[in-house]
Amino acid sequence: MALLEVRDLRVVFQRRGTEPFTAVDGVSFDVDPGQTVGLVGESGCGKSVTSLAIMGLLPSRGNKVTGSVRFEGTDLLTLSDKEMRNRRGRDLGMVFQDPLSSLNPVIPIGLQVTEVLERHRGMSRKAAMVEAADLLGRVGIPDPGRRLSEYPHQLSGGMRQRALIAIALACRPRLLIADEPTTALDVTIQAQILALLKELVQDLGTALIMITHDLGVVAGLCDEVNVLYGGRVVEKAERYPLFAEPRHPYTHGLLASIPRLDGARGEKLVPIKGSVADNIPWDHGCAFAPRCPNALAVCREVTPELEAGDVRSLRCHNPVLPGTPAAQEVPA
């Protein structure tokens, strides 16, 4: 049985007097124990909202969450606030994007690590401090004993993210959600943090949901990848088939827009036309149609369904044929 089964998750934001906005529109995926699953997409595609919905961290008002999020058989969406608080940090951990603002600036690092140990593992402050030093050491922070009494602003960006990972994994949760954990870091540090995450997840047998817009991160880490567009999964496949043969024009476009070191000099990047603002709702046709080089007349009339195949699931009327080179931008 899968550790986490997300079924038809839908998050609708509605404030009084405004049109409802569907941020996540029927997303389904599974995470097996120890597996790493990627949620990929550009800003505003609903990947962060999905993670917040799983954690039960969306604001209590102004939104409606439907569908189910079964964690070891229990639907997290039906749990009370209190039950959810008991699970967060213990069964489910989360690492956020900006390590500086995710740490409390006025209390020392040590207290922020021991806090979760005292809360979920019932440790005394003293025992928790010893454990905290051990944890910081394990995530590669040198001289952890001294770091415990330091404040977040005294640590470097990479150190802070290491500390946050230590905090998130302190109670050995079975599922860790990492929401763009490397976006705010230098490129060299990014690689270190990713390697660390990979190693820890393997050692502890923790399942990982990796949320990112960086396909390089996905390539190095994820077993399975879900590509999101406009709140829906448009392509779902294992890592190798996805990178070797992207079939959805969006995935194809994302991969084509990455600069290549082995490309010819002076080769132009191939961007995806338009921006997320060009989204149309999924009600009448494909939301990606206005930006899609492969769009047909049917794309603007019939909403494509997610169709499962042997190696991938795909939501597209006119997928990219295997072996097609990156689409060229048509001059206006």
Partner 1 sequence: MTSLLKRKQQRVDALAESAGTSLAADALRRMLRSPVALIGAFLVLMFLVLAIIAPFIAPKDPYQRYPELLEDLRPDFIPGPMPGFLLGGDELGRDFFSRLLVGAQQSLIVGVGATLIGLALGMLIGGAAGAFGGWVDSWLMRFTDIMLSIPSLLLAISIAALASRGSQTTVIIAVAVTTVPIFARLLRGAMLAQRHSDHVLAATALGVRRRTVVFRHMLPNSLGPVIVQSTLTLATAIIEAASLSFLGLGDPDPSRAEWGLMLGNSQRYIDVKPELAFYPAIAIIIVALGFTLLGEALREALDPKNRR
**Residue range at the interface with partner 1 (CB under 8 A); choices 103-111, 128-136, 206-214, 227-235:** 103-111
> What is the smallest separation between the CB atom of 135 and partner 1, expressed in angstroms?
13
Q: Which of 29, 71, 96, 282 binds partner 1 (CB under 8 A)?
A: 96
> Is residue 90 a contact point for partner 1 (CB under 8 A)?
yes
The SS3 assignment for 173 reads: coil
CB of 232 to partner 1, least distance (A): 25
Query: Minimum distance from CB of 210 to partner 1 (Å)?
Result: 16
Q: What are phi and psi of 193, to 5 degrees?
A: -65, -40
Q: Residues 63, 102, 182, 294: which binds partner 1 (CB under 8 A)?
A: 102
What track of x and - describes contact with partner 1 for positions 281 through 300 (by CB under 8 A)? --------------------
Site for partner 1 contains 164 (CB under 8 A)? yes
C-beta of 92: minimal distance to partner 1 in Å? 8
Parallel, antiparallel or unpaired: strands 21-31 and 4-13:
antiparallel
Alpha helices in 42-105 (DSSP H): 47-55, 81-87
Residue length of the chain: 332
The footprint of partner 1 on residues 53-72 (CB under 8 A) is 55, 57
Q: How many residues bind partner 1 (CB under 8 A)?
A: 33
Stretches 26-34, 95-103, 191-199, 216-224: which one binds partner 1 (CB under 8 A)? 95-103
Alpha-carbon separation of residue 178 from 185, 235, 272, 291 (angstroms) = 14, 20, 26, 29
Rounded Cα gap, residues 51 and 304, in angstroms:
25
Question: Any contact of residue 98 with partner 1 (CB under 8 A)?
Answer: yes
Give the one residue of 17, 73, 106, 261 binding partner 1; rule: CB under 8 A.
106
Kindly state the tokens that stand for 55: 């954690």
Least gap, CB of 96 to partner 1 (angstroms): 6
User: In the complex, what is the shortest distance from the CB of residue 241 to partner 1, in angstroms, rounded to a whole number?
Assistant: 33
Residue bearing tokens 């770091």? 147
> Whose Cβ is closer to partner 1: residue 118's or residue 134's?
118
State which amino acid sits at residue 58: L
Strands across the sheet containing 232-238? 92-95, 175-179, 207-212, 36-40, 224-229, 232-238, 312-314, 307-308
Rule CB under 8 A: say whether 93 interacts with partner 1. yes
Interaction of residue 270 with partner 1, rule CB under 8 A: no
Scanning residues 116 to 145, which ones bind partner 1 (CB under 8 A)? 116, 119-120
DSSP 103-130: S-TTS-HHHHHHHHHHHHH---HHHHHH
Q: Which of 154, 202, 275, 328 binds partner 1 (CB under 8 A)?
A: 154
Q: How far is the CB of 139 from partner 1 (least distance, A)?
A: 16
Interaction between residue 202 and partner 1 (CB under 8 A):
no
Could you tell me if 28 and 233 are in contact, meaning their C-beta atoms sit under 8 angstroms apart? yes
Nearest distance in Å: CB 67, partner 1: 21
Q: Coil, strand or helix: which one is 15?
A: coil
Q: What separation in angstroms does the CA of 33 have from each of 23, 36, 111, 130, 184?
A: 27, 9, 30, 29, 28
Binding span for partner 1 by CB under 8 A among 4-12, 81-89, 129-137, 210-218: 81-89
Q: Can you point out the beta strands (E) in the chain?
A: 4-13, 21-31, 36-40, 63-71, 74-75, 92-95, 175-179, 207-212, 224-229, 232-238, 307-308, 312-314
Closest CA to 272 of 291, 247, 290: 291
Residues making contact with partner 1 (CB under 8 A): 55, 57, 84-90, 93-94, 96, 98, 101-107, 111, 115-116, 119-120, 149-151, 153-154, 164, 167-168
